[in-house]
Structure 1
Amino acid sequence: MSPFVGVCQDLLTGTELIELVQQQATAPSYYFLRWSHQVSGIVEKLPDDFPSSEGQMFNCDRELRWKRQNDRYSVLVLSNTGEVTGFKSIIKDRDDLRESEKESYWKTEQRPAYGYPTNETRFPRSLIYPKSLDVRNNQPSQKNQPKLAQRYFIAQPTATVHFVALTVEMPNSDSCQPVLTGLSF
C-alpha cells in the first residue's frame, strides 16, 4: 500500500467524530487528547468527556488528528496503508503533477520515538503512558509490548518532511512493522 495524507471532506459534529475515531481504531490504538486546561497523556481508552478540543488517535496503520472549529471538527489522516474512505487527498488538486506522481507523492520512514521519563522536571506534571506501551524511556523493556514510534511523511519531489505521525511498532508480527515505503536505493 502507498502512504496517504488526507482531510475529511466535511467538518464533523462531535458524534460523527466519535464514530470516525471508533471506526478507525484497531487494536492496539492509543490517544493523546488536548483541552484548553489539560492534556491526557497517552491513554488506551477514550474518556467520558470525549471529544476533546484537539487530539489524535494512533495505531500501527494510521494517525487521525482533529481540531475543533466552532462547533465542528476538522480531521486529518496520515495513513501508511493507502487511501481512507471519506478523506480527500491533500495533493489531488495539484495541477502541476501528473496522475502517476500524485499516486507516489509520499514516502514514509519509521523511526523509534522516546517518551520522557516520569521524573522529567521540564513539565509541571508527569506525562502519562499506558503500561501496555513501551515508550523507550530507559525503563526495562517488555519484549512483547508495542513500542512507541514515529512515522515521517516525506514529499518525494522535494524530500521535505511535511508530517511526523505517532505510530506503534508491533512485536513479532508481519503487520505494522517498521517499513520504508516509496524509497529507491
Structure 2
Amino acid sequence: MTGYVGFKQVSSSAELKNLLDKLATDKSYYFVRSPHAVSGICMKLPDEFFPGFEGQMFNADRELRWKKQGSAYQALVLSRVEADLEGFEPIGDNWECCDRAAYFHGIDETKFPKSFIYKGENDEKLDFNNISIGQRYFQEKRTATVHFVALTVRSIND
C-alpha cells in the first residue's frame, strides 16, 4: 500500500483544533501528553489535556502528530490517503506502508506507575480488549528502511 508523509507549521491551538476536526473520522482516537501527565487513549479529544505539549490523533486512514514549538505547533501526518491534506509539505514521495497488529497493556498490568486509561466518547472507561488498534509501518521503498510507525484503527476482522 502506498503511503504519504507530510508536515505543516500550525500557528495556534485553535488552528490545530480545526485541523484535528477536519482529519478526524467517527472512529478516531487521541493521545495527548503534557510534561506531568498523559491522557490515555481517548475516543474524544480530552479538553483537560489539549493542546498539551504533544499528542496524536489516529484513525484507519492516518495519524496526525503535533508537538509544541515555541508558540506554534509542528504537525506531522502519516497517511495511507492524501485527501484533505492542504498545506502539508510532503517528506519524500516514495513511501510504502503496511499494517501490523499491536498489543496494549491492560489497566491492571504493572508496567506503568499508574493504570493506563482507555476512555470512550462520554469519558467512560473502555475495556482495552474491545479497542481494535494496530500499527502502520512507513518505509522508504528504495531502501526498505522503516522511518515511522503510526497507530491505526483496525477492522474487527483484521
TM-score category of the 2 structures, normalised to the smaller one = 0.7 to 0.9
Matched, 1:129 2:118: yes
- Deviation of the 1:131 alpha carbon: 5.8
SS in 2 for 1:40: coil
Q: CA deviation at 1:130?
A: 3.4
Which residue number in structure 1 is paired with residue 86 of structure 2?
85
| TM-score of the pair, normalised by structure 2 | 0.87
Gap change, CA 1:2 and 1:134, over 3 Å in 2: farther
Stretches of structure 2 that go unaligned for 5 or more consecutive residues are: none
Percent identity of the aligned residues? 49
Distance 1:46 1:64 in 2: 13
Q: CA deviation at 1:166?
A: 0.3
Residue 110 of structure 1 is matched in structure 2 by: 99
1:134 CA drift (Å): 7.0
Distance 2:57 2:5 in 1: 15
Secondary structure of 1:3's aligned partner: strand
What TM-score do the two structures reach when normalised by structure 1? 0.75
Aligned-residue RMSD, C-alpha: 2.0
Shift of 1:86: 1.6
Per the TM alignment, residue 12 of structure 1 is displaced from its structure 2 partner at its CA by: 2.3
Between the aligned partners of 1:21 and 1:11, the Cα distance in structure 2 is 11
Q: For residue 77 of structure 2, what is the amino acid of its counterpart? A: V
- Name the CA distance, whole Å, in 2 between partners of 1:106 and 1:46: 29
Is residue 18 of structure 1 aligned with residue 3 of structure 2? no
Write the distance in 2 (CA, Å) between the matches of 1:109 and 1:120.
29
The 1:131/1:22 distance shift into structure 2, 3 A limit, reads closer
Runs of 4+ deviating beyond 2 Å: 130-136
Change (3 A) 1:77 1:30: same
Contact 1:33/1:52 (8 A) holds in 2: yes
Q: Alignment partner of 2:112: what SS?
A: coil
The structure that is strand-richer by fraction is 2
The 8 Å contact of residues 2 and 82 in structure 1, kept in 2 or not, is answered as no
Deviations 1:128-185 (A, max 9, x none): 123697744xxxxx5xxx511000001111111100000001236xxxxx6xxxxxxx
Separation in 1, partners of 2:90, 2:149: 17
